[in-house]
Each structure stands twice: as structure tokens, then as C-alpha cells.
């Protein structure tokens, strides 16, 4: 009797375990379907699982009018990914400016190019396990009409990842890019975008450049290459170019690289967002990068220029120099303003040449 009870209970336990296993598989499958449907069906399930693990994922998603966003959180270990896919024709439309892009403004660190066939940036402001990747895609002839009824001109894919692992270890960085590259490939298919995506999988990416990583300006070979020295401007903080859609160069003095001037180059959707911001927020009759090819910004000692870039369609690139030194409210000496213009010309010429653009016009 006792033996029969044990056998019966064991059998019931086996059935319960089987039901639990089957239920778990069903729930897991439902969770995978939710991930696969996120961001208008452009989220790559295999890549998401590879990065965030096989546990249950919390998924939130929103799509419409050429803008798809979704958030995926791993409940077990706290990893997360926030994805944004944008038809670049929406940038600035109806005052919409909030397209997320890695980099695009000066900060404590400089984002580095993704490279390897991609026009993109990899950014991180600290080493807390979080990073942002932006990939930009130019869509050529033969692309299908988008939500506005016109062929899509381009796409941006931005993924903010928090994986809780140090970026100082090169082996940890490619995981931050994997969802972005997988999403970009699915977005190209979903939008009928005629383009050539970069290589996958990406096995390496550089570390964003910290504030302390400066070098003699005379030895610069990246985004600060070719810019002349002057009194009080002898150091540079730069990255490689490698087809990045936004470039930055910081110039400083011998005092531990204290910043004196910063230069940026904006291409494609980065230039679109910059110009749209001036249209939305400019309240004077002074010309801006949105309506003139070159000029002086309202800040004394700050200027912009531009160039035509066939690879970016009709979107002109914008090159900006800003004076970061002391003297707010005081007139900047002519010698410093002349140096700012000279630095802008050198920066714009090298940047435009590296991107395949025409000769830039500068003040």
C-alpha cells in the first residue's frame, strides 16, 4: 500500500512537472513573440536574446508615422535596451526634434566611430555599464515609399543599452552594438531601404575618448589633423573619422589640456537635427546654419561653414567652431577670432574630404 502511494505520488509529481515545463515553454514562446513584434517587428529576437539572456523580458513598444520605439528589460539580471528607429524624413517635421542620436554635442567623452562599413557612433559618458549606439543609413534610388507616401531617404537606429559590465574590457563592448546592427538590417528590409549595411557581427569597437586623453596638436592624425597651433593652443583631444556621421575635436593649452576651442562636423541626420533646432528655437533675424552656408554664431568667436555631400543626398554638412575659453560677455580679441576661422577652415577641409563631400565654404 505504501509502495503504491509512493508510485502514485511520483506519477502525479511527474505530470505536474511536465505541465509546469509545458507552461513554461508556452510562456517563453509568448514572450519571444512579444519581443519579435516590438518596434514594428524590427527588433531582432536572436540578437536581443544573445545580449539580454533567455529569461523573461518586459517589453514596451510604440510605433507610428515613421517613428518606432521600444524598451526591453531583462527581469532576472537588470539588463536593458531602449531602441529607436526613425525615418529621417520625420526629423524637424511638425517641430519634432527629439530624435535620439549618440553624441551630437560636446561632453565629458567623445563618441567613437563604429566603422566596419557602418556610419555610426558608439558613446558612453561613464563606465557604469551603459552605452549608446547610433547607426545612420542612407536609402538610395528604388527605396519604397514610407509613411509620408515618399520614398524613404534614410533611417537612424539608436540603441541605449545597460548591461552592467565595464566598457574598459574590449570583450564587453560588442554586445552593446549587436542589437543596433541587427535592428538596422531588419529596418532596411521593413522600410524597403536600398542601401548596403555594414559588417556583422562586430567583434570590436573603440572606447569613447575621456576628457584626460589629449595629445600634442602637432601629432594629431584623426579629427584634429591639419589644424594649426597658435599661442595657447597646443593640445588636441580627438577620435578617428571612419565614416562617422558626427565628428568632434577639442583644442586646448599646455595646462593639462584645458579646452580653448571645440569643433564639430554634422552629416546627414545630425545636420538635419542641428538645422531643425535653429529653425525651432531661433528668435532673431541673424542668419543660422539652417538658412545660410556660412556665418558667425551669436557667441563671439564662434562660426560655421558647410559643404555639399553626395553621400548624404541633398543634406549639406555643417562645420562649427566654438570658442570655449574665458571671457564671456567680453569682446574676443581679433587674433583669437581669426584663429577660430583658420581652425574651422582646416577642420572642415579635412572632414569634408574624409566624407567624400565637396569643398566647404567657411567665413
> Is residue 165 within 8 Å of residue 82, measured between CB atoms?
no
pLDDT band at residue 330 under the 50/70/90 scheme: low
Q: Report the candidate in 260, 261, 228, 266 with the shortest Cα–Cα distance to residue 247.
A: 266
pLDDT surpasses 80 at 255: no
Average pLDDT over residues 165-169: 93
pLDDT in tens, 99-117: 789 987 766 789 999 999 9
Question: Phi, psi (5° rounding) for residue 110?
Answer: -100, 125
pLDDT of residue 79: 94
> Is residue 182 within 8 Å of residue 38, measured between CB atoms?
no
CB atoms within 10 A of CB 253: 15
Question: Phi, psi (5° rounding) for residue 142?
Answer: 95, -5
pLDDT of residue 302: 92
pLDDT surpasses 60 at 17: no
Amino acid at each position: 500500500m505504501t509502495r503504491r502511494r509512493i508510485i502514485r505520488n511520483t506519477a502525479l509529481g511527474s505530470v505536474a512537472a511536465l505541465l509546469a515545463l509545458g507552461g513554461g515553454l508556452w510562456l517563453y514562446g509568448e514572450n519571444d513573440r512579444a519581443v519579435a513584434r516590438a518596434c514594428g517587428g524590427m527588433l531582432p529576437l536572436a540578437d536581443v536574446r544573445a545580449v539580454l539572456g533567455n529569461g523573461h523580458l518586459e517589453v514596451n513598444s510604440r510605433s507610428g508615422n515613421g517613428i518606432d520605439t521600444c524598451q526591453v528589460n531583462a527581469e532576472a539580471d537588470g539588463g536593458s535596451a531602449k531602441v529607436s528607429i526613425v525615418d529621417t524624413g520625420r526629423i524637424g517635421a511638425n517641430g519634432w526634434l527629439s530624435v535620439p542620436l549618440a553624441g551630437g554635442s560636446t561632453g565629458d567623452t567623445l563618441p567613437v566611430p563604429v566603422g566596419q562599413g557602418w556610419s555610426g557612433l558608439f558613446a558612453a559618458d561613464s563606465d557604469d555599464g551603459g552605452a549608446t549606439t547610433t547607426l545612420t543609413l542612407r536609402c538610395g534610388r528604388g527605396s519604397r515609399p514610407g509613411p509620408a507616401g515618399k520614398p524613404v531617404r534614410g533611417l537612424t537606429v539608436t540603441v541605449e543599452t545597460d548591461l552592467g559590465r565595464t566598457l574598459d574590457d574590449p570583450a564587453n563592448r560588442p554586445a552593446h552594438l549587436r542589437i543596433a546592427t541587427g535592428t538596422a538590417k531588419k529596418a532596411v528590409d521593413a522600410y524597403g531601404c536600398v542601401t548596403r549595411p555594414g559588417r556583422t557581427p562586430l567583434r570590436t569597437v573603440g572606447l569613447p575618448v575621456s576628457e584626460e586623453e589629449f595629445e600634442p596638436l602637432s601629432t594629431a592624425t584623426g579629427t584634429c589633423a591639419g589644424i594649426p597651433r597658435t599661442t595657447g593652443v597646443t593640445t588636441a583631444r580627438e577620435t578617428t573619422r571612419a565614416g562617422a556621421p558626427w565628428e568632434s575635436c577639442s583644442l586646448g593649452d599646455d595646462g593639462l589640456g584645458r579646452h580653448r576651442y571645440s569643433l564639430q562636423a554634422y552629416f546627414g541626420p545630425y545636420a538635419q537635427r542641428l538645422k531643425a533646432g535653429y529653425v525651432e528655437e531661433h528668435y532673431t533675424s541673424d542668419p543660422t546654419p539652417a538658412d545660410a552656408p556660412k556665418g558667425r554664431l551669436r557667441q563671439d568667436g564662434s562660426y560655421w561653414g558647410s559643404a555639399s555631400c553626395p553621400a548624404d543626398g541633398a543634406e549639406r554638412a555643417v562645420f562649427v567652431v566654438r570658442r570655449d575659453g574665458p571671457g564671456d560677455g567680453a569682446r574676443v580679441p581679433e587674433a583669437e577670432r581669426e584663429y577660430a576661422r583658420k581652425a574651422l577652415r582646416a577642420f572642415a577641409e579635412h572632414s569634408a574630404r574624409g566624407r567624400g563631400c565637396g569643398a566647404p565654404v567657411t567665413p
